[in-house]
Amino acid sequence: MNKKFFFYLYFFDILIFLKKKFHEKKAKKEELRKAGKLLSKAEKERLEKLEATRAKLANQTGVIIPATQTSEEQGQKKKVVYGKRKKPQQNQGQKKQEEENQAERKELIN
């Protein structure tokens, strides 16, 4: 066998190894992203600022401020439902009293 053949074998072995590594890294990133541990640069900066202000307030006031919600919890908002809002109803007793008061007023006027 010639040298070219061995070169190609070696080259393809390296390519297969690199593809496998790439897919492993990609799978690991996806797993971290699903767990909420993979943050972008902006998110990291935002969290650092929050922690700094929390520490500053804690030093000034002496009060411990609980941690805010994580990004996953913030993403889970309640679904908005339109048109099913209940209107506040007055108690039946109040309605009767108002009707009686109106009836008495009409009698007094007449």
Residue 106: per-residue pLDDT:
78
Q: Which residues form the domain of 33?
A: 1-38
Residue 14 in any domain: the answer is yes
Of the chain, the end-to-end C-alpha distance in Å amounts to 123
Residue 60 in any domain: the answer is no
Residue 56 in any domain: the answer is no
How far apart CA 31 and CA 49 sit, in angstroms, is 26
CB proximity list for 38: less than 8 A, separation 6 or greater:
29, 32
Number of domains in the chain: 1
Note down pLDDT in tens along the chain; length 110 residues.
677 777 778 888 888 999 999 999 999 988 888 887 888 888 889 989 998 988 888 888 766 666 655 555 556 677 777 776 666 665 666 777 888 888 888 777 76
Residue 5 in any domain: the answer is yes
Residue 6 in any domain: the answer is yes
Return mean pLDDT, the chain: 79
